[in-house]
Amino acid sequence: MWSLLKIELFKVFKRPRTYIAFIAVWAIVSLIQLAIYVDGPKYMDFVLKDIKDNFDVIGNPLNGYFVCFVILQTLLIHVPLLVALVSADMIAGEANMGTLRLLISKPVSRTKLLVSKFLASAIYAVILLIWIAILGLFLSMIIFGTDGLINAKSYEIIILNGNDIFWRYLCAFGFAALALVTVSSLGFFFSIFAENSLGPIVATMSVIIVFTILTTLDIPLFQSVKDYFFTSHMIGWKGFFEMKVDADGMAIPGTIRNLPAVLRSAGILLLHVFIFTGSAIFIFNRKDVLS
Amino acid sequence: MKNKFYFALLFSKIILTSYLLLLSLAGKAQTADELIRKVKAKMDKVNDYVATGKMKTDVVFIKAPIANIKSYFKKPNRFAIKRDGGVSLLPKGGVSVNVSSLLLTEDYTAIDAGKTTLGATPVRIVKLLPTSDNSDVVLTTMYIDEANLLIRKASTTTRENGTYDMEMQFGKYAAWGLPDKVVFSFNTKDYKLPKGITLEYDDGSKKAELPKNKKGRVEISYSSYIINKGITEAMLK
């Protein structure tokens, strides 16, 4: 199994398209950092537009933690598309090159083959996320420094202490890794049905785009069903940046407001991973491979 | 003849009453001014201070933990609040106004508005009306503890920042006119951002209906002051 995984990882990282995502992430993160470095106060004014007339901000709200929050918020919509470039190509790419039949003729079970391919695409997604963490969190911390974080929601503002944030980012990145692995499993699932990678990549992107739009549209019809979209749970990492409050309404540092909900979202994503991957293995084991 | 005498008597009474009334009003205004001067003289003993304390922000749409803060003051009107490791939202014109700056200018008219009690403390009510047309402050009402020369409460109405109240509790630094606890109350507006921008994570919990027009409160409890030991410019930035 380990040998199979190493081979698959070698294949993934040998392809030039794999590195498109790393370059794209670097470009997006750099642009966001540049924009906040140059025009950060204006962005902060927009976030606090309803209260800036009445409140002064003390401290440095435009710090590395805030920049990383903006980057994560922006990237976690777009990175799934980059993940799909690789995961949706795992089987379809082999079929396209005519090597799939040759591959399954080897003395390795189809299940093992598919699991190793899925693990390779999941590892790629996690490495991409580590790249985001290096650029988005650590580089931003170096450039902008650290301080407290203002998490502006639609109806409230949550202020986190500077020493209460880093562990939340570790948890958030862990959750985001699970979200990207879910996307990876979806792309992988579509991949077994096609003989070229374009179809599964577009299908995965379409599902994510449509579900994300439905999730963000504030229309009652969609609000009632959005819990069934896995994209609604992919932003569960934000739950780590909310705190419980005491009887006086004071936020309690070191707490997570609704941990069961975040864990439930993680569970739903994990369930999707098993369903997509399991279905892919189940269907592929019964598939007549002709290419 | 009788009528003439009656009118002359009435006229004399009116003049006398008016004179006495004016005399009495002038006496009271003098007293209010004097009281303010005494309070100010007490506060003038403080050239600068560094105060350490904790700040609680109670605004319906702000969820913030209790913050460790340091306040810096330098005569005549330099004041700054800094947080240890974090950011805070403070009401404009509220927290930035400290007790000393309430009496900073000379350009006001002090009017005696009677006496009342705050808790168990008898206080004099003095209204300060700025004489300058450009002043942001429209009216400040002070509740002054005459016996100790301490401002126990101040209610300030401004043109730009609404009305805010400051309530002060004094303890071991009362001799300097510096409070152990300051509570700011102010009006808050509604806060809302589009969900499409915030990309909100809905954890399924029911959102509590936020009360409208609820007053916000910021409470600062000072644990210690370092008085007249000098502070640097960097501290005030």
The strand pair at B62-63 and B88-91 is best described as unpaired
pLDDT tens digits for A155-209?
788 899 888 999 999 999 999 999 999 999 999 999 988 888 888 999 998 998 8
Give how far the C-alpha of residue B52 lies from the chain's centroid of Cα atoms, to the nearest Å. Answer: 20
Please tell me the distance from the alpha carbon of residue A276 to that of residue B4, in angstroms, as a whole number: 112
Of B100 and B235, the one with more pLDDT: B235
What is the DSSP track for A155-204?
Answer: S-EEEE-GGGSHHHHHHHHHHHHHHHHHHHHHHHHHHTT-SSTHHHHHHH
Percent of chain B whose predicted confidence (pLDDT) is above 90: 7
Of A70 and B206, the one with more pLDDT: A70
Structure tokens at B135: 């002043």
Q: Do A218 and B195 touch (CB under 8 A)?
A: yes
pLDDT tens digits for A235-273?
889 999 999 988 888 889 989 988 999 999 999 999 999
pLDDT at A118: 92
Q: Which residues contact A188 (CB under 8 A, 6 or more apart)?
A: A87, A88, A90, A91, A117, A118, A121, A276, A277, A280
Neighbours of A201 (CB within 10 A): 23
**pLDDT above 50 (res B26):** no
pLDDT at B45: 85
**Residue B186: pLDDT band with limits 50, 70, 90:** confident
Q: What are phi and psi of B104, to 5 degrees?
A: -70, -45
Give how far the C-alpha of residue B135 lies from the chain's centroid of Cα atoms, to the nearest Å. Answer: 15
Q: Which residues contact A281 (CB under 8 A, 6 or more apart)?
A: A110, A111, A114, A115
Nearest to A153 by CA among A58, A53, A228, A48: A48
How much of chain B is in helix, strand and coil states, percent to nearest 5?
25, 40, 35
pLDDT tens digits for A203-220?
998 998 888 888 777 777
What is the DSSP track for A219-267?
Answer: -HHHHHHGGGSHHHHHGGGGGGG---B-TTS-B-TT--TTHHHHHHHHH
* N-terminal to C-terminal alpha carbon distance within chain B: 80
> Alpha helix locations (H) across chain B?
2-43, 99-102, 195-198, 233-236
pLDDT at B193: 65
Q: Which residues contact A2 (CB under 8 A, 6 or more apart)?
A: none
Nearest to B153 by CA among B142, B138, B137: B142
Mean pLDDT, chain B, rounded, equals 77
pLDDT tens digits for B101-123?
666 666 778 888 888 888 888 88
pLDDT tens digits for A83-135?
988 888 888 888 888 888 888 788 888 899 899 999 999 999 999 999 999 99
Q: Which residues contact A73 (CB under 8 A, 6 or more apart)?
A: A238, B199
The answer to whether A232 faces chain B, any CB pair under 8 Å, is yes
pLDDT at B100: 61
SS3 B14: helix
The answer to whether A130 faces chain B, any CB pair under 8 Å, is no
pLDDT at B25: 46
Q: Which residues contact B197 (CB under 8 A, 6 or more apart)?
A: A154
**How many angstroms separate the CA of residue B120 from the nearest CA in chain A?**
26
**What average pLDDT score do residues B48-68 get?**
88
Q: Closest to A235 (Cβ–Cβ): which among B57, B81, B199? A: B199
Please tell me the distance from the alpha carbon of residue B214 to that of residue B58, in angstroms, as a whole number: 10
Structure tokens at A132: 């985001």
Please tell me the distance from the alpha carbon of residue A137 to that of residue A7, in angstroms, as a whole number: 31
State the pTM of this model.
Answer: 0.82
Is the separation of the CB atoms in B46 and B227 below 8 Å?
Answer: yes
* Site of tokens 């100010």: B40
The answer to whether A64 faces chain B, any CB pair under 8 Å, is no
pLDDT at B28: 46
Q: Closest to B198 (Cβ–Cβ): which among A61, A153, A236? A: A153
Neighbours of B25 (CB within 10 A): 12
Percent of chain B whose predicted confidence (pLDDT) is above 70: 70
**How many angstroms separate the CA of residue B19 from the nearest CA in chain A?**
47
What is the DSSP track for B163-226?
Answer: EEEEEEE-STTGGGT--SEEEEEEE-------HHHHT----SPPPPPPPTTPEEEEEEEEEEEE
Q: Which residues contact A164 (CB under 8 A, 6 or more apart)?
A: A253, A254, B65
Which helix or strand (DSSP H or E) is residue A66 part of? helix A64-87
Structure tokens at A138: 């650590």
Could you give the C-alpha distances from A46 to A70, A131, A153, A180, in angstroms and in order?
13, 29, 13, 30
pLDDT at B14: 59
Neighbours of A130 (CB within 10 A): 12
HSE toward the beta carbon, residue B65, CA cutoff 13 A? 25
Own/partner contacts of B168-171, CB < 8 Å, gap of 24 or more, are B168/B99
Interior angle at CA B203, CA B201 and CA B205, nearest 5: 135
- Which residues on chain B are in Cβ contact (under 8 Å) with A236? 201, 203
- Which residues on chain B are in Cβ contact (under 8 Å) with A226? 202
The answer to whether B179 faces chain A, any CB pair under 8 Å, is no
**pLDDT above 70 (res A10):** yes
**How many angstroms separate the CA of residue B126 from the nearest CA in chain A?**
27
**What average pLDDT score do residues A126-153 get?**
91
- Which residues on chain A are in Cβ contact (under 8 Å) with B64? 158-159, 250-251
SS3 A53: coil
Nearest residue on chain B to A156, alpha-carbon basis:
B61
pLDDT at B23: 45
Is the separation of the CB atoms in A60 and B87 below 8 Å?
Answer: yes
**What average pLDDT score do residues A28-52 get?**
84
pLDDT at B119: 83
Nearest residue on chain A to B96, alpha-carbon basis:
A56
Is the separation of the CB atoms in A182 and A273 below 8 Å?
Answer: yes
**How many angstroms separate the CA of residue A133 from the nearest CA in chain B?**
20
Structure tokens at B10: 């009435």
